[in-house]
Amino acid sequence: MRSTILLLARTYLRLCGSRYPAEVLLDVREELERRRTAGLGALRAFVWALRQVAVVGLYELRDWYRLPRQVRPGLAFALSVRSIWRRPAVPLVAATTLGLGFGAAAAIYGTYAGFNRPLPLPDGDGVRWVRLLDDRGRAVSIDGEDLRLVADLPEAFDQVGAMQTASLSLRSRLGYPVRVPSAALTPELFELLGAAPALGRLPALGEEDVVVLGHEIWRDHFESDPAVIGQEVRVDGVPRPIVGVMPPGHEFPFSERVWTSLSPTAETSGMEIVGRLGAGVEVQGVADAISSRLHARRLARDDTASSLRVEVPPFTEKRGEGGENLILATLLVLVVALVLVSCSNVSNLLLARALGRVDLLAVHAAIGAGPAQVFVQMLTEALLISLAGAVVGLGLSAAAINYIQSTLSGHWGYYWMRVQFEPAVVLFTLGLAVVAGTVAGLLPAVRLFRTDLSDVLRAGSAAVAGSGRGRLSAGLLNVQVAVSALALIIASLMGGALLRSRPAPELRADDVFILSVFLDGARYEESEDRRTFRDAVAAGVAARGEVSEVAWANVVPGLANSFERFEIEGVDRDPDTRPVGAPVIVADAGYFEIFDVRPVAGEGLDGFSGTDELVAVVNSSFVEAHFAGRPPLEQRLRLQRTGNERWARIVGVVADLPAYRGEDARSRARIYVPFEAVEPRSFHVLFTGTDDATQAVHAELSSIEPDLGVSPLFGLGGQTRVSDVVAFISRIYQTGGLLAVLGGVSTALVALIGLYGALAFEVQRRLAEIGVRKALGADRNSVLRFVCRTGLRGVAPGLLLGLLMSAGFSPLLGVFLGRMNARDPFVYSGVFLAFVAVAAAATLVPGMRAARVDPVEVLRAD
Amino acid sequence: MAHDYLGEFEHLVLLAVIRLDSEAYGAPIRRLIAERAERDVSFGAVYSTLRRLEAKGYIGFTVEPSTSPEGGRPRRIAHLTESGQQAVDAARRRLERMSDSLSERIPVGPN
């Protein structure tokens, strides 16, 4: 708490232009301690210190603006505090408005910063990787000889090593093997990383076949026993000594849990080269040198080898991120722009408020406060309001950031990505608040600075309001409306995705367990061997009481299925259109039973083993989407991947098995192929039974294949249900949707306040004109209509611009939109209508005030 | 000599710097002015004036290591420059000339 307050104070002082903030704080602290010793209460001492720091900042600002020395920032501060305290309504609205914007901006900034961290290693910034691409932009595999050529480059890397990621089966003390993500690193790479083990040591040069455990594996599977160092553990069936345990949080390179040593030969392929560049070495020069060396080597083997493009980015960059950075950066720019634009709203509110007490300011001026003093006071008020907004924003962003980290951290897969509420977020928010406060305060401050306040005593507020609003303000209001419309559309689309991604109620998810199996190695090269293994497991499990039903499939309902291209016999496809695809699920008959998938026509998935002909079963949505009234049975499909370009005869139709609500027929379409026809190496065992069922299946698998690592999909221990999968996938939409809805609603609120403030000011400015209209016979309704029309017409260009921007931007949101169409006409027209309604509501209050204007009074006052 | 002109508060701060010698930094300066001149000024006013006096060339700063037994940040200590001394001297003489032989016409306060 104390350090946060000090950080906030130091940031504030620095932003105000202080060159020695630490010195100021030391002085204030020294005096504070003296006062406390003299008996001043803690709260009063704190308030005194706060005031001192605030006033130092204001003095800095005064000097920065080169205002006359007669200006007294301390007095301005005291008067501002009193003014806000006595009339808190407008400051409260303004602080909330700004706070919403600050909160959104800080949350996005925090997420962006969390995604773009350096490697959490000593000098992690300096670690780079070598990215090799062919002329079509595809990744090129790197082998041991490539590594040697790169390591031998003179004046390139200080240190260079290589790594290979895989998963391996580790037989832990729990009695059964688990499948864990692992990385094999060359000893040079271990040394280059500079990460020290928490226990034991790292593999030495030339030492092979040793294992280093991750902290979580050591904790969960080896009971945090320090005696594991030196003991042997079976890795992929081979006993290897454990030499070290890494500290918590170390998951280099991506999210690995176990490390082995790598001794690359010319045959070792699929590696990644990692190194630290030498001091003063130019990156592009190194990339070019690597490119020419590796290309020359490939040309020597094959003279048609394509040229190589080499990049040497920092280790955490170019990791196949799906445009999240672009989306976050765009959102950040938009939100910051919106905050700055909403400053004009706050400006208008403050100006309208100043008009209400302009006579008081005039009295101040009359008794000696110069225009500069009034200027500083207006600026101080705006800054205080903005800083109060920053406190609101910090609270909101802390909640949002914690929510994002707690719900989404599992989705990223890169261990350095960690979204957290950190000092950088606080600095960012305070910086934004000082800029926004200054911008918001300048307009009223300049207006009053330029007004001869002695005129005010004669003519009242008209002396200030007389100067017109420029095109700039109208432009700003439209920018604001455009951004708000964009935010509302994004919010509605993501909100729609949120609703549609809720689990479908008919999916049996709570009592179906999953274990994932990967039949590695030469023993399972042949599909008959895999079949034999599976039959043995099925027989063993059937004999146990814990498991009641078993099914085999290559996918789990709810997890994204990869689409596979297919062709329907006799249907010519227009070559210009995108090829059609649908998920192909390899499953056995038990899959339909366990999820209660009803047959609609023809047969199911059983009874087709051993035949040479490939058969398929499709679901009702597939028939609806691709057969349009024709009978599907006995038609043939050519399946590109699963069927290896073979034709599959459709033998049956089954009902849909929806995982989420809101899927349309095309996205529900599925093709099922019998498990026996493919016998994939990687598959899931799905089963029901008692709470011990997972243990039982584990035991059965390891009794047949002692070193076969299986993973329960999430986490390394425990059990996974289908509902966990569905919840995991839903969470990404829920988080994105919830944040977008909050963001959209708050930006719309900001725009609403802006529109209201602008119109209220406009009505005030045009009182005389309205008075003349009424004197010439306009009735109340026509004045009301006139004001509403003026307001709506004023924001129409912004609204149209916002709709166009949305149509361009929302397709970029990709995965966050889930099953929503990025240009859903209902959403667009709904937002349009909502905006018109909201704008009409915002014009109503000023319109009604205008309608009540008494022409005689107005014209007399003029 | 227009550039020798000292505002009242600037004058007070310069005198405090002379009096405090090696302890002339923000907090003691503010305290001294509060005690001796009976003006409870803010830190902001003190820093702003110190900055202005430095810009006029009347004072300079030296960085001294912390004197606190627990250690801590070094302090910037203000010291008078030669033109600062001249300015104080000129101000003092101006005051003396203006109040010369007026002592019996100025009512004496309680202290």
pLDDT tens digits, A21-53: 888 999 999 899 999 999 988 889 999 999 999
At residue A62's C-alpha, the angle toward residues A61 and A65, to 5°, is: 85
User: Would you state the pLDDT for residue A717?
Assistant: 53
- The residue written with tokens 């938009």 in the block is A334
Across the range A399-418, mean pLDDT stands at 82
Name the residue of chain B whose CA is nearest to A13's CA.
Answer: B44
At residue A681's C-alpha, the angle toward residues A647 and A167, to 5°, is: 140
Q: How many A/B residue pairs have CB atoms within 8 Å? A: 58
- The residue written with tokens 């600095």 in the block is A427
- Where is pLDDT greater, at A309 or A341? A309
Dihedrals φ, ψ of A641, to 5°? Answer: -100, -60
Give how far B25 is from chain A: nearest CA, Å.
8
Residue A718 burial (CB count, 10 A): 10
Domain boundaries, chain B: 7-102
Are the C-beta atoms of A375 and A445 separated by less than 8 Å?
yes
Cβ–Cβ gap B44/A26 under 8 Å: no
Q: Are residues A218 and A147 in the same domain?
A: yes
Residue A715, domain member (yes or no): no
Q: Are residues A307 and A337 in the same domain?
A: no
Residue A514, domain member (yes or no): no
Residue A713, domain member (yes or no): no
> Is the minimum CB–CB distance between B51 and chain A shorter than 8 Å?
yes
Q: Are residues A544 and A657 in the same domain?
A: yes
pLDDT classification of B98: cutoffs 50, 70, 90: confident
Q: Are residues A208 and A293 in the same domain?
A: yes
Residue A722, domain member (yes or no): no
Residues of A in contact with B42 (CB under 8 A): 51-52, 55-56, 59, 74
pLDDT classification of B32: cutoffs 50, 70, 90: very high
Number of H helices, E strands in chain A: 27, 22
Q: Are residues A375 and A253 in the same domain?
A: no
Q: pTM of the prediction?
A: 0.74
Q: Are residues A19 and A85 in the same domain?
A: no
- Where is pLDDT greater, at B96 or A572? B96
User: Would you state the pLDDT for residue B27?
Assistant: 92
pLDDT classification of B75: cutoffs 50, 70, 90: confident
Handedness of CA A82, A85, A87, A91 (dihedral sign): positive
User: Would you state the pLDDT for residue A470?
Assistant: 56
Range of the domain at A813: 472-502+728-861
Q: Is the pLDDT of residue B101 over 80?
A: no
Residue A75, domain member (yes or no): yes
Q: Quote the tokens at residue A269.
A: 């392929």
DSSP A163: E
Name the residue of chain B whose CA is nearest to A22's CA.
Answer: B73
Q: Are residues A789 and A804 in the same domain?
A: yes
Residues of A in contact with B25 (CB under 8 A): 23, 27
Are the C-beta atoms of A235 and A169 separated by less than 8 Å?
yes
Residues 6+ apart with CB under 8 A from A556: A514, A684, A686, A713, A722, A725
- Where is pLDDT greater, at B23 or A487? B23
Question: Looking at the DSSP assignment, which residues form a beta bridge with residue A37?
Answer: none
Q: How many domains is chain A built from?
A: 5
Residue A335, domain member (yes or no): yes
Q: Are residues A675 and A538 in the same domain?
A: yes
DSSP A662: T
- Alpha-carbon distance of A145 to A128, in angstroms, equals 19
Across the range A529-534, mean pLDDT stands at 90
Q: Are residues A290 and A345 in the same domain?
A: no
Residue A656, domain member (yes or no): yes
CATH number attached to the domain at B7-102:
1.10.10.10
Dihedrals φ, ψ of A233, to 5°? Answer: -135, 145
Residue A601: strand, helix, or coil = strand
Residue A199 burial (CB count, 10 A): 20
Q: Are residues A652 and A798 in the same domain?
A: no
Residue A537 burial (CB count, 10 A): 21
- Alpha-carbon distance of A533 to A555, in angstroms, equals 19
Q: Are residues A260 and A300 in the same domain?
A: yes
Which tens digit of pLDDT belongs to each residue from A839-856? Answer: 787 778 778 877 887 777
Residue A768, domain member (yes or no): yes
Name the residue of chain A whose CA is nearest to B25's CA.
Answer: A27
Q: Is the pLDDT of residue B1 over 50?
A: no
Terminal Cα-to-Cα distance of chain A (whole angstroms): 56
Q: What is the ipTM of this complex?
A: 0.86
Q: Is the pLDDT of residue B2 over 50?
A: no
> Is the minimum CB–CB distance between A60 and chain B shorter than 8 Å?
yes
B22, with CB counted inside 10 A (0-12, 13-18, 19+), is exposed
Cis amide linkage into residue A253, ω under 30° from 0: yes
Handedness of CA A27, A30, A33, A38 (dihedral sign): negative
Q: Are residues A294 and A149 in the same domain?
A: yes
Q: Which of A390-399, A494-503, A564-573, B31-40 has the lowest mean pLDDT?
A: A494-503
Residue A626: name the closest of A574, A584, A670, A564 by CA. Answer: A670
Are the C-beta atoms of A504 and A672 separated by less than 8 Å?
no
> Is the minimum CB–CB distance between B6 and chain A shorter than 8 Å?
no
Average pLDDT along chain A = 83
- Alpha-carbon distance of A445 to A451, in angstroms, equals 10
Cβ–Cβ gap B75/A23 under 8 Å: yes
